[in-house]
């Protein structure tokens, strides 16, 4: 359908609506008060199609299709707030605003999402939420074309282009693009956590953080992967997951340029360069760069072996050791030598073998400096120094 056809259709509705209003005036005169309530409602509705706005504000000139809308608007200028909350005495300009506010006290959430079952106190909040499922982004930036699901997100984005940061912190003078960002920031200084979980009582400085936390209790997972259908409780977790499909690795190491899909993996990697080992064992004091390494180490002290072989029942403290062991049963030898083609069940065995071809001898004796291809060969050699045996005698044994 062409734009001209759409315009013609719109014009047809406007013209027919205008003609109908003219006829209604004649019907109103003929039937009098009996038909009046119906006609008045119909006339108001038809102004949606005609665009007619006969009521104007004497203060600012804004125009409205209904007198009630004008009256509501004028309360902006007068400051009148005739509707007060019986629970907290907060006042509102309209009864509908009061009704919505009172749901804070009652906890009423009459609007539910048909996709995930999430409930909301306001219809507008439900509509915004549903854009998560539909992917709708009706607000676009005139500078770069970026699209957003919420108008507030667009406004915040546009300040990237203008560079405007009109809100400054009185404590540290840091500046922000929005007053809400400033308010959130100031909680760093005040320690305020105004949002608390009704299930466990845990408090948060951000409403979004509370909402994300509440999904632990509800089990709600509103974010789904378009590639595999896996669902997540937080959008940030979905974004991390999607990098498995895209292969994107946005976090790169400034020391070696190795890239990672997640920031926490980059942070762990960088400890290789810094030598930082923040995780220490409470039993022996040994420190580790990663928490997972500490957990594995602790099994030395606890004797825990959580990985079992389904074939023979042997248990292991590390999953990698179980996988290596299982190759005894399967006969799998995934590691092969590129020089001679010999294959091995373990990578460590391949590395030892390759020293035959390279001549590498990484294990040297601190007594005499002689080098060996394996640590076991060095151990045998060191008996020469400790027990007085000759090297020939040792190997002959």
Q: What is 53-106's CATH topology?
A: Double Stranded RNA Binding Domain (3.30.160)
Which CB contacts under 8 angstroms, 24+ apart, belong to 349-354?
Answer: none
Strand 195-196 and strand 203-204: the pairing is: antiparallel
Describe the chain by its helix, strand, coil percentages, rounded to 5: 50, 10, 40
Is there a contact between 109 and 100 (Cβ–Cβ < 8 Å)? Answer: no
Q: What is the pLDDT of residues 160-171, one digit of tens each?
A: 888 888 889 999
Provide the pLDDT for residue 208.
87
Distance CA 120, CA 111 (A): 5
Is there a contact between 248 and 232 (Cβ–Cβ < 8 Å)? Answer: no
CA angle 271, 274, 277 (to 5 degrees): 55
Q: Which CATH class is domain 107-246?
A: alpha beta
**SS3 state at 232:** strand
Does 53-106 match 107-246 in CATH topology? yes
Provide the pLDDT for residue 8.
43
For 236, half-sphere exposure in the C-beta direction (CA atoms, 13 angstrom radius) is 6
3-state secondary structure 333-396: CCEECCCCCCEECCHHHHHHHHHHHHCCCCEECCCCCCEECCHHHHHHHHHHHHHCCCHHHHHH
Distance CA 178, CA 166 (A): 7
Sorted by where each begins, the domain ranges of the chain are 53-106, 107-246, 251-302
| Residue ranges of the chain whose pLDDT lies below 50 | 1-15, 17, 27-36, 390-397
Provide the pLDDT for residue 5.
39
Q: What is the pLDDT of residues 225-251, one digit of tens each?
A: 999 999 998 888 999 999 989 999 989
Dihedral of CA 324/329/334/335: which sign?
positive
| Residue 72 Rama label (left phi>0; alpha psi -120 to 50; beta) | alpha
Provide the pLDDT for residue 387.
67
CATH number for the domain whose boundaries are 251-302? 3.30.160.60
């Amino acid at each position: 359908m062409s734009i001209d056809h759409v315009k013609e259709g719109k014009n047809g509705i406007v013209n027919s609506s205008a003609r109908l209003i003219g006829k209604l005036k004649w019907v109103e005169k003929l039937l009098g008060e009996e038909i009046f309530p119906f006609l008045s409602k119909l006339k108001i509705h038809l102004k949606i199609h005609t665009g007619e706005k006969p009521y104007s504000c004497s203060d600012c000139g804004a125009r409205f299709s209904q007198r009630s809308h004008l009256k509501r608007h004028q309360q902006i200028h007068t400051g009148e707030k005739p509707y007060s909350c019986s629970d907290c005495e907060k006042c509102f300009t309209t009864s509908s605003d009061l009704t919505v506010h009172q749901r804070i006290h009652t906890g009423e959430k009459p609007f539910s999402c048909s996709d995930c079952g999430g409930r909301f106190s306001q219809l507008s909040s439900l509509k915004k939420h549903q854009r998560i499922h539909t992917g709708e982004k009706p607000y676009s930036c005139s500078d770069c074309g970026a699209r957003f699901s919420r108008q507030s997100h667009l406004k915040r984005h546009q300040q990237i282009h203008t560079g405007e940061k009109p809100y400054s912190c009185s404590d540290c003078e840091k500046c922000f693009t929005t007053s809400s960002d400033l308010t959130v920031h100031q909680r760093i200084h005040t320690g305020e956590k105004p949002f608390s979980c009704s299930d466990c009582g845990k408090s948060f400085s951000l409403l979004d953080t509370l909402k994300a936390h509440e999904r632990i209790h509800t089990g709600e997972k509103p974010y789904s992967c378009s590639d595999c259908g896996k669902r997540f409780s937080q959008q940030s977790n979905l974004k991390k997951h999607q990098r498995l499909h895209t292969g994107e690795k946005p976090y790169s190491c400034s020391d070696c340029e190795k890239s990672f899909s997640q920031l926490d993996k980059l942070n762990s990697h960088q400890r290789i360069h810094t030598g930082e080992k923040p995780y220490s064992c409470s039993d022996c004091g040994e420190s580790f760069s990663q928490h997972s390494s500490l957990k594995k180490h602790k099994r030395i002290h606890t004797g825990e072996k959580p990985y079992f072989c389904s074939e023979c029942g042997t248990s292991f403290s590390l999953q990698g050791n179980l996988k290596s062991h299982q190759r005894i049963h399967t006969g799998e030898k995934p590691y092969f030598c590129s020089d001679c083609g010999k294959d091995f069940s373990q990578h460590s065995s391949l590395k030892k073998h390759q020293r035959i071809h390279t001549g590498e001898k990484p294990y040297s004796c601190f007594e005499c400096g002689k080098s060996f291809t394996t640590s076991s060969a060095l151990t045998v050699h060191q008996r020469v120094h400790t027990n007085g045996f000759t090297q020939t005698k040792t190997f002959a044994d």
